[in-house]
Chain A
């Protein structure tokens, strides 16, 4: 048996309404969607997946190092070739020897990852599996597909036993060429739009998968793949559920099409809501479907953040998505090579600082002579807490950004750039100058040992307007796209206002 032992879900903070599309286009082509989530300029499937995975692990108080099987599923990977699980695993501190898989190629990828995770658990080859699903579909701006396209991510922790058991599963496939597809080399998905044919692909494969389940079901809710806000309900009959059961778990009306994260995100939300029995059915064009039956016997630890906090106009939507902006200017001068960036990944992803073996001072990045005592002895690696306090901050306006960041500024607008005093990790704070844990150290003052509790780092602001950052404000770190050069996107931490 396989159980879901924790779930996390994340959507970007931006929302755009159907009305904004109607104003721009004269119509809105995505039926049944009133509002949808939009990724920020510095987000993609990898960063959203990292956000959701971090939440799932936090919910059940697991560390990345506890994970021995990792899957990443998306129909919109930021690169077509290159194993993104290496970077995702490093962001989450998953062991370098953990099993890793990438699932892509259709919106069914998310449930294929769950399927493979179950196989690993049931074969005994994994004890703690982390399934990370994320998507941000892109279509031609006036297509139904783009109007429906949302953005979000969900992560599930699978273990042999836990509060939510997956009691049954089945799959089904039947060839339907010309349903939603993305040709090699293209960024935009497309479909022929043969309405009845598309619907038949959807209902036939979903019906086929559900029919293969061993037992008759009468679930409290039915989580059904949602390419738009109407199609799931057309599959009610095929799935043997009523439309109210589908509506109870639907996220598409407020978030849009979440692609490979559609079923996992709605499933996570349903589990977080304490639902007892769930039927979950995905659909991937081409076409195929996966069906799962779940029964819960207790609360599933969950951290679900599916609310937005900023509404975009259609013009802002085009800017954030980079539809109407240009690429980086040509130039020269300052340059950070990919190998030198790669060497800094422990700092960029995991905030790995150094603690001086002689005087206990923190350093970031941990290289060179100690700031505190000048020793050239190598610092001991220590991870920072991911929270901190703004020490100095500016809002970069037009003319103030390095050229590498011109495309980002063009898309996101003005941004905050700060120096932040990042906190030492809690278990590293009460140490004396020799790095030994100081059992009696006062939790607040630490005056006896004078061990520095913060280290200053420069960081860009995200997830909030630039004027939301002021000297003295508390912030937390999160991983985002920093910039892209030579075709390689460099990911690293940014800061955002600390969440309560």
Chain B
């Protein structure tokens, strides 16, 4: 594993409705690693994730500090006003706690980000969708029913579909907010396995409650304590 810096977080302060969540948090995340963010619930782990793709609610929260992500080796201040958040979110994918497929077919769900990005060539779309579904370990299970409603899939399949959807634009960073917490053990294990496989292409930041899971897949563990990160390999 190489040791290139992927994300640099410097002196992050974050407060939500006057309640301080992060106070001077700094963190360095290396390329092609899985980074677990741990800590008691309600301490702001998920909020921290959303600072990395600017998905937090700007109307009721405030943030200061600097976050740089090295896209193809070039540092980018992700809060630079000239850097559109839609561009950022196409490079930094996110998977949520509960699977959130859209009410459309399996194929159209995975192709949706391509449509949003204005990439509409049919052949390319089909190719990208298949590749993403394979990366998410879902292709074999759905290849015969790509045009069926995505909401008919099982919970574990839906979550892998959401991972595939996040992967279709080939993001360099993937944020995962307790991605297995709504799934049974077996479905969760498949996802853990695929995340480890994804390290080849992606840098991952994962919020997890399960210490066993963190032990199994994380390269680095960052504990959120009093609004700051304490980093250590468990």
Instruction: Tell me if chain B binds chain A.
Output: no
Residues of A within 8 A of B (CB): none
